[in-house]
Structure 1
Amino acid sequence: MAADDVFHHVGELTGLTAYDAAGEKIGSVEQAYLDNETGRAEWVTVKTGMFGMKESFVPLAGARRDENGLQIPHAKELVKDAPRMDADEHLDVAQEQELYDHYGLTRPSGRSGSPGMSPAAGTPAKEGMAGREGMGNGGRGRADATGTTGGTDTSKAATAPATGRGEEDMVRSEERLRVGTEEHESGRARLRKIVVTENVTTTVPITHEEVRVVREPIKPGDRTIGRAPMGNAETEVILHAEEAVVRKEAVPVERVHLETEKVTEQKEVSADVRKEQVEYDAPGQDDRGRGGRRGPSH
């Protein structure tokens, strides 16, 4: 789809998935904002945050539509850090300029500087409430899905047939929690080995030779021994002994590795949500009569 189609067919923008310049998913497009002077879609709000509870403003300048969604020429972190604005409110020129400054953009020239921007009717936050006072919007000027601007539309109420339920209905809205999960890095486990020294004691048998004197008397008539001369003499015997010898060798003893497993636990998530209540006033004779009532209804 061409760039002009992205700007003018704002009804097709809502619900698209927005991706940043690197192709990373940012969130879903919730609302389109039109310039009150030109009637052209200049901004959209995209749901961001861990549970999609925040709407961040994103400029449509440089954006393009493809089969995957809406491609935004800005980084996801830049979008998430955009200035916080009430996503249902009319934005004045100062707020609009603050957004342009955040994205490093220049506000288009040739404008009077007074209108600002308003959310387009027909987007999810305005569904069923165009021309009526909604939660937090104060009935300010809006643009229809074709890009035209104007004030509150009361023509339907003026031409609608009488139903016996009053001149027009009031729509009550309330917020609902949408809780999801997203995976993020929670830590790193490392497996390493180090060399430590310990003293090992073992027992090994060793032998050695000792000497002792053995005396044998010579029997009479033993002819194997001749006459021995008288005098000094000496002889020697070589003794042998074993010693313990230590050698070391490295041998594999076990294989060690890390593995992960997913553990599911139940976690309570709470957040404040808003809802509208309807109060009604009915005429009556006095507070004690049946005709006078006032109180909340929902």
Structure 2
Amino acid sequence: MTEVDTRYFADWAGHTLYHTSGEKIGRVEELWTDDDQGRPTWLTVRSLFGGRDSLVPVLGVRPRDDGDLETAYSKDLIKDAPHVEPNPTAEGRHIDESEEERLYRHYQVPPQMARQEETTGRDVSGPTTDDAMTRSEERLRVGTEQRERGRARLRKYVVTETEQVEVPVSREEVRLEREPITDANRHQAMDGPVISEEEHEVVLREERPVVDTEAVPVERVRLAKEQVQDTETVAGEVRKERIESDGTERGPRG
């Protein structure tokens, strides 16, 4: 496998490679082609981890709308890829087949699958092009993720209110009672001087309301979570390929 200098992938060099999640991986430096087919199979990425160049399979690399590139291989997988130092040859720099096999094993890509991707369906003049064209399109993949919506807590505080309660109370009052002199009370009536001045005192009592408070438990309160099912509408842009035919129209038959 040797370094490639072809216009087919020439605009890839200098662009940034991202993971499909949007994480930035590094800048594309060089493209490498297979010795047998002459198709690009690897690209060199100047990564963000220590400035070391890493080889990434061209298989699965797709252009983004902004002109940069994206791959399904994660940043950590690319970071841990075997480091390959190209060997100088008469035609330029070259990566040995054994080292290429190590890279294929690391990325878990069968070499025959990579070579098939490199040689099939790229143009209309290749040796493996058939009489059919594959039309592809993007489809939305919708799922859900858990995220923190908010937090709820219980807080207890004290308020002072005024309550009115009717309390029954009683009091003593005096009234005059007169009773005639009879044989039963005559001896009490005749006890003492016949004519005199006297005072009698009676103690009167009454009830007054007394207010006091006591703390009593009235209820227990706790927080409980429940699942509420809802439906939301999401939208996204997808790209679709269209196929048109260019041919010669027949003239009218006379």
Q: TM-score range by the shorter chain?
A: 0.5 to 0.7
- Given the alignment, which residue of 191, 202, 205 partners 1:237? 202
Partner of 2:227: 262
Answer whether contact 1:135 1:276 (CA < 8 A) is retained: no
Q: What root-mean-square deviation, in Å, do the aligned CA atoms of Structure 1 and Structure 2 show?
A: 4.5
Partner of 1:187: 150
Deviation at 1:265, TM superposition (A): 1.4
Per-residue CA shift, 1:16-50, capped at 9, x if unaligned? xxxxxxxxxxxxxxxxxxxx9xxxxxx985443xx
Bigger-Rg structure (1/2): 2
Partner of 1:201: 164
- The separation in 2 between residues aligned to 1:44 and 1:135, in whole angstroms, is 10
- The separation in 1 between residues aligned to 2:138 and 2:204, in whole angstroms, is 102
Partner of 2:59: 122
Partner of 1:25: none
Point out 4+ residue stretches in structure 1 off by more than 4 angstroms. Answer: 143-148, 152-160
Q: How does 1:1-298 map to 2 (within 5 A)?
A: 45-48=18-21, 55-58=22-25, 91-92=28-29, 100=48, 105-108=49-52, 120-123=57-60, 146=101, 160=128, 165=131, 169-219=132-182, 222-224=186-188, 225-284=190-249
Structure 2 unaligned residues grouped into runs of 5+: 1-12, 31-44, 68-94, 105-114
What letter corresponds to residue 231 of structure 1 in structure 2? S
- The separation in 1 between residues aligned to 2:25 and 2:160, in whole angstroms, is 62
Deviation at 1:159, TM superposition (A): 5.1
- The separation in 2 between residues aligned to 1:283 and 1:107, in whole angstroms, is 55
What letter corresponds to residue 195 of structure 2 in structure 1? M
- The separation in 1 between residues aligned to 2:204 and 2:194, in whole angstroms, is 28
- The separation in 2 between residues aligned to 1:189 and 1:204, in whole angstroms, is 43
Answer whether contact 1:45 1:58 (CA < 8 A) is retained: yes
What letter corresponds to residue 201 of structure 1 in structure 2? Q
Partner of 1:79: none
- The separation in 1 between residues aligned to 2:225 and 2:193, in whole angstroms, is 91
Per-residue CA shift, 1:234-291, capped at 9, x if unaligned? 22111111111112111111111121111111211111100111222224566x68xx
Equivalenced residues, count: 179
CA shift in 2, pair 1:135/1:181, >3 Å:
closer
Paired residue secondary structure (1:91):
strand
Q: TM-score, normalised by structure 2?
A: 0.54
What letter corresponds to residue 171 of structure 1 in structure 2? T
- The separation in 2 between residues aligned to 1:47 and 1:135, in whole angstroms, is 10
- The separation in 1 between residues aligned to 2:64 and 2:248, in whole angstroms, is 26
Per-residue CA shift, 1:84-107, capped at 9, x if unaligned? xxxxxx8358xx66x62xxxx442
- The separation in 1 between residues aligned to 2:64 and 2:166, in whole angstroms, is 89
Paired residue secondary structure (1:181):
coil
Q: TM-score, normalised by structure 1?
A: 0.47
Structure 1 unaligned residues grouped into runs of 5+: 1-35, 37-42, 49-54, 60-89, 112-116, 127-133, 290-298
- The separation in 1 between residues aligned to 2:24 and 2:20, in whole angstroms, is 9
Answer whether contact 1:135 1:173 (CA < 8 A) is retained: no
Deviation at 1:172, TM superposition (A): 2.4
Paired residue secondary structure (1:223):
helix
- The separation in 1 between residues aligned to 2:28 and 2:183, in whole angstroms, is 140
Per-residue CA shift, 1:145-198, capped at 9, x if unaligned? 7459x9x965997655x97x3xxx543221111111001011122222222222
